[in-house]
Structure 1
Amino acid sequence: MSFSFSDPRSFRRWAAGVSLILAPALIVLSLVIDASSADGHEMLLAYAANPVQTAWHSTLLHYGWVFFVPGIIGLVHVVRRRGVVLAHIAGAASVIGAINMSSLMLSDIFHLAVYRQLPPEQAKVVTEADNPAFSVVIPAWQLPGVILPLAGLVLLAAAVWRAGLAGWWFPASVLAGNALFVSAPTGTMFFYLIGPVILLAGFGAMGLRLLRMSDDEWTPLPSPSPSAAAA
């Protein structure tokens, strides 16, 4: 588990491993301090009543998805021989999706500002008003920000399993965690958190696997050419 800022193999391996642990941990923490266990209008009212708590929730959730990016790149890097094509496709989708997802957290701050400046019913009208820009933003930004990271991470975990770097538990935990994350009912903290906690267990274990790799496992040194070996 050696680490060195001056060694590219060591630093990049540690950056990927720590990111895989930190990303889901920040998502769990953001949900623990969420200002509301409601949904829709009631959630926005709770956000407006707790601006600092909401800001921390959105900021931690933003960085949770940001920190997935180096972890995803690290997982793609270690997939060799088997599962390579799947890892490349799933990794690219996951990176694009995670970046989009992180930026969606800014909408919480916009809604918070509207609900603090306007009466609740008027704020509801403003936030739910039809906007022509939605015809572009929703399919080109919002939907990729939700679908690509969730589906991409499952497929990337399957590629890692296919490469023999983890057992079946890794894609199973990512699939179960994501499914519970998007389907959990609001109002009950246990069900709200169980999906992200499963993701933390799965990605955390994989992050530790990267941290425990030797530098040669992370990036094998190239074999000498036949001419060099003969010399």
Structure 2
Amino acid sequence: MSELFSDAGRFRRLVAGFCLIIAPVVLLVGALTHPQGKEAAAAHLAVVAENPDRYYWAHAILLLGLALFLPVVLALMHLLKERETRFGHLGGGLAIIGLFGATAVVAVDGIAVSQMGQPQASIEEMAALLDRIKESPGFRGIAVVAGVGLMLGMVLLAYGLWRTRAVQPWMAGGVASGAITFFLGVVTDNRIIFAMAFAIDLIALGPLGWGVLHESDNEWSQGGVVQGAQSPSNEGVPLDP
């Protein structure tokens, strides 16, 4: 155990592999746990009042998943550390900014809206307050940053991974598809679409995480090696981005 924590490279590799697998799972559980909200504020608060514990814990799970997704972004950036670094830096930066925005939205929804739906609260006053929050420039701006930033960032990372063949093409396609589906979830506020996005992420990132966990520390330090991801001209040679 002491060797694990004393070897920084190995520790980062294991954290990256673990989060690539677990983060989509946690986010998927959170999306499936979350009750479907309503467009009208009063109707939405009624849903919260009917499912107070489920609503609260769904957001707690989603916050945990978003925290675990940060190492996922860093892991994808690591795979682009020497080749197509512009996609790694720009995509990773946008994705991290999007993660911060998503965390803020989930925190407000999970904490503030949960309290608005309490039985002792005035439904009329709380509905009016929720409408003001949702229509405020600040909240809308954060929501846009979350949706657009995370989508563009992950798509750029996926494109860089595809160009460098750092991962198998279907994995890169899955990362991009998951990001686009997530953006559609933000636009529609539909938990099923969010669940689909996280399921796609699990399919694409899970095998990648498994590969990271089973590669050597030396391969990871060189930018990572994914089985079958090498170019035909370098088949059998470790990928060095």
Residues 26 and 63, structure 1, Cα contact 8 Å, conserved in 2: yes
Gaps of 5+ in 2: 224-241
Please state if 1:126 is matched with 2:116. Answer: no
Deviation at 1:104, TM superposition (A): 1.6
Per the normalisation by structure 1, the TM-score is 0.82
Residues 175 and 204, structure 2, Cα contact 8 Å, conserved in 1: yes
The Cα offsets for residues 180-215 of structure 1, whole Å up to 9 and x where unpaired, read as 3343667785x5532221111111122122212211
Which residue of 2 is the match for residue 39 of structure 1?
A: 38
The residue identity in structure 2 corresponding to 1:10 is R
Q: Cα RMSD over matched residues?
A: 2.6
Structure 1 distance, partners of 2:134, 2:162, is 43
Please state if 1:206 is matched with 2:208. Answer: yes
Cα separation, partners in 2 of 1:188 and 1:58, compared to 1, 3 Å: closer
The Cα offsets for residues 30-80 of structure 1, whole Å up to 9 and x where unpaired, read as 01211x224223333212222221111001111111111112112212224
Structure 1 distance, partners of 2:177, 2:44, is 26
Structure 1 distance, partners of 2:97, 2:14, is 22
The Cα offsets for residues 119-158 of structure 1, whole Å up to 9 and x where unpaired, read as 33332112113799x334533x332122111221121122
| 1:152-167 matches, cutoff 5 A | 152-167=153-168
| Structure index of larger Rg | 1
Cα separation, partners in 2 of 1:92 and 1:183, compared to 1, 3 Å: closer
Residues 81 and 88, structure 2, Cα contact 8 Å, conserved in 1: no
Structure 1 distance, partners of 2:47, 2:212, is 40
Runs of 4+ in 1 over 6 A off after TM superposition: 185-188
Gaps of 5+ in 1: 222-231
| 1:91-130 matches, cutoff 5 A | 91-108=92-109, 109-116=111-118, 117-129=120-132
Which residue of 2 is the match for residue 168 of structure 1?
A: 169
Per the normalisation by structure 2, the TM-score is 0.78
Q: Identity over aligned residues, as a percent?
A: 24
Which residue of 2 is the match for residue 17 of structure 1?
A: 17
